[in-house]
Amino acid sequence: MSITAVGRPVSALKEGSDKDASGASPSSETLAHALDYKESDPAKAIAMLREILYHPTSTAEVLRIKEQAITALADLLSQEKKAEELRGLLTDLRPYFNLIPKAKTAKIVRGIIDAVAKIPGTSDLQISLCREMVEWTRAEKRMFLRQRVEARLAALLMESKEYSEALTLLTNLVREVRRLDDKLLLVDIDLLECKLHFSLRNLPKAKAALTAARTAANAIYVPPAQQGTIDLQSGILHAEEKDYKTGFSYFFEAFEAFNALDDPRAVYSLKYMLLCKIMINQADDVGSLISSKAGLKYTGVELDAMKAVADAYSKRSLKNFEEALKVYREQLEEDPIVHRHLSSLYDTLLEQNLCRLIEPFSRVEISHISDLIGLPSENVEKKLSQMILDKKFAGTLDQGAGCLIIFDDVKPDGIYPSTLETISNISKVVDSLYLKSAKIMA
């Protein structure tokens, strides 16, 4: 059963077909005329572009015009959010792919998949489309294209949290690409593997994959966007190990690369730079970074969220901190990297506030501490219990009376270390005398 598009069978794309032979061959003027309707009447522009695409003529000039028509049609269908039609277009074009070089085929296929990705809520469709293209490339023995589509499929599976399948796919792909020594693709795959292991909380393997990506990148010219991605991932891993100063420097490098390219990831690099400043107790620097020339370019809700967190941390205010988390939930709670570090920051801030509140007391009701700090009694009791176990202060919880009893700091008695030292010295003297007497008796 042939797939049709606007009444045109797939066979109309095949070289030598004489259907619609009476029509004039597509020209640059025909293409320009179709693009004139791109803004005013997208439906008409799509229909005209399909007419160009499905014309049976296949001279070199017509194939060049068809390539431009495909790019324009993919953009229009993406703009109109017609994901299924994009999928059908990719299937319809298979006979056309036999008439053009393999490198151009790869460019068109990846372009159409990118066009589908621009349409919100198409993750499942993208995965299905990539699977179809992998099967087709295997059948057609297009190894170069298959490897890149498989890499895209692995990234989509990782985003869908299908980690096991993504890891299996990447493991096989890394082995195959290393054998072919395609370093540019290897950098992409190693970076994907790093992100995947990081998502699985396997930091040693994530660091190993990042090191492999850097090694491959050092042997070739790496595009600035890809170098920025490497720096961004390096910053994330250093921040995860609490090395925020090194993480800040990597985020800064990534920010400069993305900023020069007007890449939307620049704002996230800047956001993580601000996070590092907060985590190393330099929250006062956040305002100056945001108001700098580079920071003003990205003024928006992402930076406002970090500014609110920095202000709350500077004031040591849990109330302001929680308000920031509520107001900027999407920017803080739903960003896994920021959320992980802010959870640690919240715990530190909570401990500091509790220690400050209980300092004047020797015995205090938990409900009173709860009122002072503005948190539920259950949360306060749980945190105090954890702090006692971690030896943040000496005390005990009297749950029957609902009280916290704080012990006085017991000064260590110096007599015990002195006694142990004296006994140790006596032992050495006795051993020395024993050796001397043994020599005399001999």
Q: What is the largest CA-CA distance in the chain?
A: 126
Kind and range of the H or E run holding 9 = strand 8-9
The answer to whether 17 and 102 are in contact (CB under 8 A) is no
pLDDT in the model for residue 12: 45
* pTM of the predicted model as reported, rounded to 2 decimal places: 0.75
CA distance 172 to 166: 10
Q: Structure tokens of 253?
A: 């490098």
Q: How many Cα atoms occupy the beta-carbon half-sphere of 368 within 13 Å?
A: 10
The answer to whether 217 and 230 are in contact (CB under 8 A) is yes
Quickly count: other Cβ atoms within 10 Å of residue 383's Cβ.
Answer: 19
3-state helix, strand, coil in the chain (%, to 5): 70, 5, 25
List of E strands, 248-306: none
CA distance 278 to 158: 30
The answer to whether 86 and 78 are in contact (CB under 8 A) is yes
The answer to whether 357 and 403 are in contact (CB under 8 A) is no
Q: Structure tokens of 7?
A: 């009444």
CA distance 185 to 333: 33
H-state helical runs in 315-442: 318-327, 329-332, 336-358, 366-373, 377-389, 415-441
Sign of CA dihedral 146, 69, 127, 88: negative
Give the CA radius of gyration of the chain: 33
SS3 298: coil
| Nearest CA among 61, 74, 136, 42 for reference residue 100 | 61
The answer to whether 230 and 191 are in contact (CB under 8 A) is yes
Quickly count: other Cβ atoms within 10 Å of residue 425's Cβ.
Answer: 10
pLDDT in the model for residue 24: 63
Identify the segments of the chain with pLDDT beneath 50.
1-22
Q: Structure tokens of 87?
A: 């999928």
Residue 282 phi/psi, 5° resolution? -125, 45
CA distance 430 to 248: 59
The answer to whether 132 and 145 are in contact (CB under 8 A) is no
393: left (phi over 0), alpha (psi -120 to 50) or beta: beta
- DSSP for residue 375: S
Q: How many Cα atoms occupy the beta-carbon half-sphere of 99 within 13 Å?
A: 19
Beginning with the edge strand found earlier in the chain, give each strand of the sheet holding 403-406 in spatial order. 363-365, 403-406, 395-398
